[in-house]
Structures are given as structure tokens and as C-alpha cells.
A and B are shown apart, each in its own frame.
Chain A
Amino acid sequence: MATRAFQRLPTAPAGRILALRLVAIALSLCIIAGVLALSGHSPGMLAELILRSTLGSRFGLEDLMLFMCPLLLTGAAVTVCGTIGLWNIGAEGQFYAGAIAATGVALGLHGPVLIMLPLMTIAGILGGMAWITVPTLARAYAGVNEIITTLLLNFIASLLTYYLTTGPWRDRISGAQVSTQRLSVSIPEMWGIVHWGFPVAIVIVVGLALILSRTRWGYEIRIGGANPEAARYAGIPVRLRIISVMLLSGGLAGLAGMFEVAGTVHRLQGGMANNFGYLGIVVAVLARGSCLNVIPAALLMALILDSGIVMQTQQLSASVILAITGLILFMIAIGDELAHYRPVATKPAKGKAS
């Protein structure tokens, strides 16, 4: 018998990762089914219901796309930042800042949609960029850890949203709680309730992938992220690149906020970021640093979110859904790690066998 040893490879082939992730998802689904069965639910019925109300119906697909739209952008924001080796944990805050800026434009100005929408878009992007400016400069010039600064600004942005939606911008027309009035301008719908922000987000993600792989700027970002010392050796202005990447990242998250306000919710609401910023980190981790992978990763995340809502309608508590989400991501992480290992058969056994 050949004794099996395992060797850890520094890089895992993409195919193995994909295969092991599928195994991981299947395994976690089995575990979930087992637990649900033990607690008196019927896993088969639930699965059928979930499939029917997500991938299996037009309404479900529309919902999926609406979930995907912000996840694509926040996932891309974290991925782009990760390319130069930095973590933007503040996509949530930049999302709010973008939403606030876009709402401000919509509430303050009046004009034709063709002018208002571009203005709101620019405001959303600038809002996100403004929110990441201080962490960016602190990182580039003082070496302050961007993880802390971007994270802490999230809470400020969230509270600012609550303040605006209960204070100066509160809905005085219909009296909705923690919300502005319905905005007069919205992104036109493309397919059912899916607005044009969704295809734009896809185009942006694909465009980013091209920029990173096909431009001088992208090349410098990749070198700077893989080895800052080599970047300096090649004369790449690392500091300027850090600034541009972080601002881009903030702008992407801000745009996600603008899309959400103008396309999906149509109001600025407290808590409307719905963790999309944080889930962007999960999407980026699932995408393993590749912009194109953000698309399937966002789809998986949207599926999990959507299934969670379906399960909540079946008297499963919200914390069960969080646990399920955690389990799936945990199993995927194990799968990714296992993909690095390759069995090595010892030599004598090999010689006899062949």
C-alpha cells in the first residue's frame, strides 16, 4: 500500500478551488438539512420553496439581481483596494455617504431626470470618496492602519444617516419613520423591478478587471500590492497609487449607495446599507482578488441573503440564517485551504504499482 503524504503548494489551481468550494457548499447544505430535519422542519420542502422563490421564478430572479447590484460594487471596492494590499473595511460607511450625497442632490435640486441622474451619480461617487479621504491620506502619509480608520467611520456615517432621516430630512409628507420622503427622481427600471444600475454595475466590474490587467496604472497597483519593496525598486510612486486606489474604492462604494437610494429604495432610510458594505468584504474574499470573480461571488452572496428571507417567512429566526451563512462561508474557507494540498505517493509504492 502506498502511504499517502500531503504537500502544501504555495498556490492552488483555480479548478481545484472551484471543485472544493462546490463540495464545501454541498456539504454545508447537507449539514443544514440534517439540523433542520432534527428540529422538525422538512428540508426537502424548504429547499423546493427556496429554489422556487429565488432561481425558479421571475420574481425571485429580480430580487436576486437587486441584491447583487450593491454587492457587486462593494465587492469590487474591497477587491480593488486589496489589489494594492490594503483593506477597505469602510465600504458600509462610504455606501451611506454616497447615498446621503445623492439624496441631498435629489432633495435640494429640481430638474429633468436626464440632468438629475448624472448629478446624483457624481454626488454619490464624490460622497464615497470624501468618506475615505481621511483614511487615505492618513495611510499614504502617516502609515496609519486603514482597517481601523475606515471601520470607525462606518458608525459615524450610519448615525449621520439616522440623524438626517429623523431630523432635517425626515419625511414630512407621509410621516414614514427614519426615512426621507420618496425621491422624485429614480433610476429607470430595466426588467421588472430591476433598475439599470444592475447592468451598469456588471459593466463596471468587467471594466475594472480590464483596467487592472491591461493598463500601466493597473500593473503598478498589482506590483505595489504584491511587493511594495519591488514597486519602489521599479520607481513606482507607491504613495500616489495608494491614494488613487483608495479613492476609487470609496467612489465605488458610494456609487453603490447612490444606486440603492435612487434605484431600489427610492428614499434615504436609516439602516438601509443592510450590511452591504461588510458583505462586500465577504464577496471580495470569495473572489480571491480577481475582479471578474466578484460576479459569481456576489451571486452566491445574494442567493444566501435571498434564501434567508425565504426561510424567515417559514418561522426560522434571523439568527439561524446568520448561522447558516456563517457555516457556508466557513466550509468554503476550509475548501480553499484544502485546495493547496496535493497528495504525494511515496516512491517505492509507485514503482511497484506501475
Chain B
Amino acid sequence: MNNPAAPSGMAPGTPPVLQLRGIGKFFPGVIANKDVDLDVWPGEIHALLGENGAGKSTLMNVVTGIYQPEEGETILDGYGQTFTSPQDAIRAGIGMVHQHFKLVQAFTVAENIHLGWDEAPRLASPAVMEARTREISERFGFPVDPAARVCDLSAGEQQRVEILRVLARRARLLIMDEPTAVLTPEETGELFRALRAFRAQGNAVIIISHKLDEVMEISDRVSVLRGGRKVGTFRTVDCNPSMLAATMVGRDIVRRDMRARPEGAAPIAPQPIMQLRHVSVRDDRGVDTLRDVSLDLHGGEILGIAGVAGNGQRELTHVLTGLMARTSGEIVLDGSVVDRADPALFAHAGVGHIPEDRLRSALAPSLSITTNMALREYTVPPIGRHGLYDAGAAGMLAHDIADLAQVRIPDFGMPIRNLSGGNQQRLVARREIRIASRVLVAAYPARGLDIGAIATMLGYLTDLRDQGVAVVFISEDLEDLLNVSDRIGVMFHGRMMDVIDAENADIATIGMLMGGREPTDRQPGGPQ
């Protein structure tokens, strides 16, 4: 079952377009890929399914020559190949469209298509390049405006330019990384039609996705990766979404119940501290990043948020902490509606925020540790009085935070970027926990920490819960989520698919919800 035969209707002896044999790729301390075998035949759309960190993108980066594998071989049309750069790969007919487009924003579509293309005429006027682009666009059935600047295009149009860039270079194998993440449903439909037309000409497509419905709709075969290894390859017609979901997340999860409250812990408050009512957010490009989310945060409770990264978790975090204005809906904090997105207001109301990317958004890397530790309390005594900033008091605060975080710091005056990522994370967590008297929003707080540090971090969260704080814990690690959360909300494409009781949560159900499927058998008492 692991290697079903090639799609029927092919001349006998036809080799696969791409064969991977025993691919292994290692990064310091991480096995990104190990023993991966994969066959991709001409005329098939092959889906690569897996959670974050399952090794999908790494594997494709190996195929396209961005990374060199430590083990294994790549065989194209029956011949072994080594790519040392993406240029080698595209010359051999393998092109990749990345999730984050690699286009020059200030250039026109025609200029982007011709950029770095060895078949581009040496001296070409804009008119010539645009005519060539128009011809390519018609030939492959991806309509674009050759004279438009890329920065003026929608995400869907930019993606078409990326695909044309690859197709113009005569790609026979098109690799697409999460192609529908930025598309509207109509654009997704157009893309799928075009991909089917591409397949009909005997070409192959590898599509990386975590969306079960799309995998079911577009692919001929599915390979599932988990923890850097391939779990199996299946004919899509033999699959169903729940079986794929179980295969995707189905590892041994150690259920370690951290929900038990110690003596004297605060009970779950009946009245919510913060409420989101039908909150939606639309970004600058007109994409709905948060769709009609309603949530109640209760003191003394940990609400876990599951979902594949990029499904609205960032926007949810920002709305909950006042960093992002909602487009519609209501935010209620302590019984009153908050109209303004003002992070200072939320912080003073006791909302702490451990952001996803601490170095970029929670710290000033070039400033001292002391300065960074004062970020949340510089306006209140003893640091802030009468518009002054007391550096001595800030130093004391930094010492306190470092002691609690158990980070040894030789010199509080040195730039905080000299500390390791793990230590920065601990300091930020402790700084935010100090001000989180009502709510703590923790986005991926365990990311980049070792096992011991993760346990400490989860302990911080349960301590806060026991003090009566409402904790929102966003993570991609189902094990951690199931261990500490009281309820788990699952996000998909900006929507809160469901909020279920963590104690009885079923991993397959969560997996289905993460992949955008409503489970047929609903959990009793799950939805709020």
C-alpha cells in the first residue's frame, strides 16, 4: 500500500518524473528529513500532507536544490541528478512556487517573468518583454497584465506570475507550497482548473498542503509526512479526510493531565473577563484573516488554540492584545466594549502578551536588558514618575525578572540580543506574566525551548491559571495543548472551527478541524 502503482494509462517502462530514494537532511539538533522515498509520475498531482515541522518544505527545498541532502539520491526520468542551486533544478524542469512569493515588487509582471531567465533576449524593450509575456500567459492559460507592477496585484495574481515564471522556463514538475493559503475560493477554483490543464499535458505537480478538502479535491495521490519521515503514499480515491487527519497527526501523544488544580487555586470564573463577539479582520490586501470569531475568556481557565500556523492565530493574538483593529464585531473587556485598538490600554487593563516572534515584536535587540525589561512598566512607579524614567529602578526590575526566569545575566547593560533565544523567551514570558493580572495571551511560548524549559513554561501558564488569570495558549504542539488546556479552540482559515472540551478531546477530531473539515460526529457538550 505504501507505493501504489503509477497512474494507469501510461506506456510501460515510463520512468517517474521524480524519484527520491532515502533522502535525509539534518540541521544542527534537528532531523528535518530521514529515509524519505517518493515517486512522482508524469500526469499526476501529488499532494504532500503534514503538520508544521513535518519536513514538507525541507524536502521540497532538497528537490529544488536549495538544500543539499546528507543522504539519499534524487532520480529524474530514470537518471540520477544532483542540484547545487535552484537554477540547476529549473534547467532540469523542476520549478517551485513558494508560499511567500519571490517577486520584485517594484518591477512589472513582464520584468519579473524575464528576470534571471537565460532565454530572455539580451536587449529587450518593455514592449518586447510584454509581448513575450502575453504570449506565455495565453499559452499556459494564466491571464496576467504584463505591464502591471507586481505591488499593485492581488495575492492571486502574484501567484499566477510566479507560476508563469516557472512554466516559461519549461518546468515539467511544478511544486507548489501552500498555494491556496492566500487565495479566495474563486481564485482557488481557477488555480485548480489550471493545474488540471497542466497535468493533462503530461506534466506533474507536487502540492504541499495541510488542507484535507483540497487534497481530496485536487490530488491523485497523497504522501503523508510526519516528523520528517514519510508515513505512506495513498491513492486519493482510497482515502477519506478523517483517515488522512489521523495519519497526519497520529503520533503517540503522552497525555499528562495538568488540568488538576492544587488546593486553594482560583476556580473558573463564571463571568468572562474578555469576550470576542463575531470579530472579523480584513488585511490590506482584502483577505479575511479572521472570520466571525466569538470567544469567551474566563479567569482561572486555559483556552488552548490549535491549528496549523497561518490560519488566523496571529490576527487573533493581535486582536486580543489591542495591536490590531477589528474590521467588524465587538471586543468586550471587563464588561465594557473596547472601541480602540490600543496596546497600552490593554496592557494597563492587565493583558499580557507573549508574542510569536519575540525578537521582532517584543524586544529592542540593540538596547540593554534593563531597558527591555522595563518595556511594560516604564510608565508606572517606581520606574516612571512625573514623566521621568528611573534607570536604577528599571535595573532592580530587570534583576527581579531575571531571578524569577532563572536566567543568569553577567551584565544587565549589554544588548539583549547577546542572550540566547531561549533566555530571551524566558525573560519576555516573565515580563509579561508580571503584568498579566487578568489575561495572558501566549503565542507559541514553547517554540525554540528544550524539553525542560517547555515544562517550566507550561508550569508558568498553570500557575497563572491557578491565580485566576485567563490564559490563551496558542500552540502547534497538540501534546502540550491537550495537557494544559481546559478547552481547545481549533482555527482554520481565519475561522474558529469549534471549541471543544480538552479532557475528552479526540485527536482525530482536532486533526479534522485543523484540516478544515467539520467532524460528522460532534463531541457532546463541545461547541459553546
| B361 lies within 8 A of A229 (CB) | yes
| A216 lies within 8 A of B415 (CB) | no
Of B154-162, B367-375, B496-504, the one contacting chain A is B367-375
- Docked Cα-Cα span, A10 to B364, in Å, equals 14
Given known pairs A10-B415, A11-B414, the reply for A216 and B379 (CB within 8 Å) is yes
Given known pairs A215-B387, A218-B389, A223-B375, the reply for A233 and B362 (CB within 8 Å) is yes
Please give, as numbers and ranges, the residues of chain A lying within 8 Å of B376 by CB-CB distance. Answer: 234
Please give, as numbers and ranges, the residues of chain A lying within 8 Å of B391 by CB-CB distance. Answer: 213-214
A59 at the B interface (CB under 8 A):
no
| A233 lies within 8 A of B414 (CB) | no
A330 at the B interface (CB under 8 A):
no
User: What's the minimum C-beta distance from A17 to chain B, rounded to whole angstroms?
Assistant: 15
A227 at the B interface (CB under 8 A):
yes
Given known pairs A10-B415, A223-B371, A227-B363, the reply for A233 and B355 (CB within 8 Å) is yes
B16 at the A interface (CB under 8 A):
no
| A235 lies within 8 A of B322 (CB) | yes
Residues of A within 8 A of B (CB): 10-11, 213-220, 222-223, 226-227, 229-230, 232-236
CB contact between B323 and one of A10, A226, A233 (< 8 Å): that residue: A233
| A226 lies within 8 A of B361 (CB) | no
| B389 lies within 8 A of A214 (CB) | yes
| A235 lies within 8 A of B342 (CB) | yes
Given known pairs A226-B366, A232-B323, A233-B343, the reply for A216 and B387 (CB within 8 Å) is yes
Among A214, A223, A233, which residue has the most Cβ atoms of chain B within 10 A?
A233
Chain A residue, CB-CB nearest to B358: A230
User: What's the minimum C-beta distance from B357 to chain A, rounded to whole angstroms?
Assistant: 9
Please give, as numbers and ranges, the residues of chain B lying within 8 Å of A230 by CB-CB distance. Answer: 360-364, 375
| A235 lies within 8 A of B415 (CB) | no
B378 at the A interface (CB under 8 A):
yes
- Docked Cα-Cα span, A222 to B391, in Å, equals 13
| B365 lies within 8 A of A227 (CB) | yes
- Docked Cα-Cα span, A204 to B133, in Å, equals 61
- Docked Cα-Cα span, A226 to B387, in Å, equals 21
- Docked Cα-Cα span, A230 to B389, in Å, equals 18
- Give 21 A-B contacts (CB < 8 Å), ordered by A residue: A10-B415, A11-B415, A213-B389, A214-B388, A217-B387, A218-B389, A219-B371, A222-B364, A223-B375, A226-B364, A226-B367, A227-B360, A227-B364, A227-B366, A229-B361, A230-B360, A230-B361, A233-B343, A233-B353, A235-B343, A235-B345
- Docked Cα-Cα span, A107 to B384, in Å, equals 46
Given known pairs A213-B391, A226-B366, the reply for A234 and B343 (CB within 8 Å) is yes
CB contact between A222 and one of B342, B371, B384 (< 8 Å): that residue: B371
Chain A residue, CB-CB nearest to B342: A235
Please give, as numbers and ranges, the residues of chain A lying within 8 Å of B347 by CB-CB distance. Answer: 234-235
Please give, as numbers and ranges, the residues of chain A lying within 8 Å of B361 by CB-CB distance. Answer: 227, 229-230, 233
Chain A residue, CB-CB nearest to B366: A226
Please give, as numbers and ranges, the residues of chain B lying within 8 Å of A218 by CB-CB distance. Answer: 389
- Docked Cα-Cα span, A230 to B431, in Å, equals 14
| B418 lies within 8 A of A11 (CB) | yes
- Docked Cα-Cα span, A247 to B342, in Å, equals 25
B149 at the A interface (CB under 8 A):
no
Please give, as numbers and ranges, the residues of chain B lying within 8 Å of A227 by CB-CB distance. Answer: 360-361, 363-366
Chain B residue, CB-CB nearest to A13: B414
CB contact between B343 and one of A213, A215, A216, A232 (< 8 Å): that residue: A232
